[in-house]
Amino acid sequence: MATLLGVLITQTFNSRGETRRRRHEASSRWHDENYRVCAAIVTKATAVERSLYSAASMLDDSEREPRMPGTKSILLSPKEGIEGVFDGITREILVEAVEDGFKVLDELDDLTGELAIIGTPEQAATARLLAEQLLDAVGCLETFAQSSLAYAEVLAIRDARESFAEAARDNLLAAPK
């Protein structure tokens, strides 16, 4: 009888230990995934911010209206440029930056979706705000906005990225390892 009781107690403790171990592994896996997604968001946002900042130097601060006669998007402008506004090389630089920006925004949409599941509501909200700020900055280049406006939007990416990184750090440091 004592042997049977010993086996039952051992099984109970083993079962509890196994349950704790599985919970810890699941928590660790969520933590690792959260870190991976957050790091990817920060890395991609930083890269596109640098690209947009560089490309914004191709804009001017002229107050002419419309900014690009005959079109609203640099993507739809003539390949040779618009006389008196920008040349073909400037157009090529801006188009590349805008297309790269949209590509990164698509990737950030996927990462933000993942984060909505594995992260905190604050992480998800700040990731969305970061993506919106990136979209605003890309939009400035696409519409050939005044350089002062474009630079302001690009520099605002940094604030949005720092807010996101702070939310990510808060969650990652609070999570059990």
In tens, the pLDDT along 5-29 reads: 666 666 666 666 555 655 545 445 5
Other CB atoms within 10 Å distance of the CB of residue 69: 12
Least reliable range by pLDDT among 14-18, 106-110, 127-131, 142-146? 14-18
Mean pLDDT (whole number) for 82-101: 97
Detail the DSSP E strand segments found in the chain.
81-82, 86-87
Mean pLDDT (whole number) for 132-153: 97
Q: What is the pLDDT of residues 54-63, one digit of tens each?
A: 999 999 999 9
- Residue among 135, 133, 136 at smallest CA distance from 158: 133
- This prediction has a pTM of 0.81
The per-residue pLDDT for 8 is 60
- Residue among 169, 8, 40 at smallest CA distance from 108: 40
